[in-house]
A and B are shown apart, each in its own frame.
Chain A
């Protein structure tokens, strides 16, 4: 059953804590993306990767970090430097550049 799996679905973070959101895909896609969505807002690009071992900053990369050691996996770490991390985080993947992207079910992160 092919698709994109994000985990966990809900995540709670204490102030000053780093947390890592998982994103795995079995679609054999080269490109992967992380977006953040705030209530009533569109999607803002955090990081994207077009190929293994390479990634680029998006529009709001500050306070976040990623790695792309495997084609299937693109984890996102929300660091303590991200001052307002409460949001809906969406991972997507596509076959390559300029092709259709598909999303996982998302992770809701809340700071407590």
Chain B
């Protein structure tokens, strides 16, 4: 089992819709969870961090964490073409190393 798993996509959503990106992790001792956005050919950019169960909202982005189910998700409301990118889930586990999933490619269509 991979430490951090994501569906590779592509996830295609129309402009203005809600995009839902999911991530599961295997280390029950994980304490910190992050979402990064990576445009093609560029380095990852941090967009959300979440540390406790529940929802955390920042503008059009909402991160959701459920430690019991070992599940973290990212919702993007009012999706825009500029949101088209690969979204990486990262988890900081008990070994204190930051582990990434393989990423989900999001395509926002006009």
Please state if B96 and A98 are interface contacts (CB–CB under 8 Å): yes
B-side interface residues, number (CB < 8 Å): 22
Q: Which of B32, B90, B97 contacts A56 (CB 8 A)?
A: B97
Given A43-B100, A50-B96, does the pair A98, B32 have CB atoms closer than 8 Å?
A: yes
Would you call A87 an interface residue if the criterion is a C-beta within 8 Å of the partner chain's C-beta atoms? no
Would you call A90 an interface residue if the criterion is a C-beta within 8 Å of the partner chain's C-beta atoms? yes
Please state if A41 and B102 are interface contacts (CB–CB under 8 Å): yes
Q: Which of B45, B49, B88 contacts A43 (CB 8 A)?
A: B88
Would you call B17 an interface residue if the criterion is a C-beta within 8 Å of the partner chain's C-beta atoms? no
Q: Is the interface of A mostly helix, strand, loop or mixed?
A: strand
Please state if A100 and B44 are interface contacts (CB–CB under 8 Å): no
A-side interface residues, number (CB < 8 Å): 24
Closest residue of chain B to A6, judged by CB?
B43
Please state if B103 and A42 are interface contacts (CB–CB under 8 Å): yes
Which of A12-20, A67-75, A77-85, A102-110 is the contact stretch?
A: A102-110
Please state if A92 and B100 are interface contacts (CB–CB under 8 Å): no
Please state if B44 and A90 are interface contacts (CB–CB under 8 Å): yes
Closest residue of chain B to A91, judged by CB?
B43
A63 / chain B contacts, CB cutoff of 8 Å: none
Please state if B103 and A101 are interface contacts (CB–CB under 8 Å): no
| Alpha-carbon distance between A101 and B90 when the two chains are bound, in angstroms | 10
| Alpha-carbon distance between A68 and B103 when the two chains are bound, in angstroms | 29
Please state if A42 and B97 are interface contacts (CB–CB under 8 Å): no
Which 3 A/B pairs are nearest by Cβ-Cβ distance? A42-B102, A97-B96, A43-B100
